[in-house]
Amino acid sequence: SRKRKRAGLFTNDVRSLLYAFGDVKNPNSETVAVLEDILSGYIVDLCHEASKFSRTAGRAKVKVDDFKFALRKDPQKIGRVEELLAMQKLIRDAKKTFD
């Protein structure tokens, strides 16, 4: 039911992920398109949910905490978010000491 505004946005990434998880080097284009639709839909839904929490808190901008709150029921995803945020902080601090 959703219109694909930016078709092909994640095509190369989905192909690489499929290959990394054991598929053939050049997976079926229909498989890639379906997975890309699912991925795009998930990202849009997650952004809408984070935006809803942001508006509930009275903010116009969406913050990282809004995404963390939207993912609170999925321990694997929230753990990955925490890991990436810690890595981002580590890289930022390393750049400061290097400069």
The single-letter code of the amino acid at 19 is Y
Which residues are CB-contacts of 46 (< 8 A; sequence separation ≥ 6)? 67, 70, 71
In 3D space, the residue among 32, 28, 29 whose CA is nearest the CA of residue 17 turns out to be: 32
Q: Mean pLDDT score of the chain, rounded to an integer?
A: 92
pTM as predicted: 0.79
Tokens of 45: 């839904």
Asked if residues 14 and 36 have their Cβ atoms less than 8 Å apart, the reply is yes
- What the chain holds in terms of domains, given with CATH numbers, is 10-97 (1.10.20.10)
User: What pLDDT sits at residue 58?
Assistant: 94
Conformational region of residue 81, where left means phi above 0, alpha means psi within -120 to 50, and beta covers everything else: alpha
User: What is the tens place of the pLDDT at every residue in 33-76?
Assistant: 999 999 999 999 999 999 999 999 999 999 999 999 999 999 99
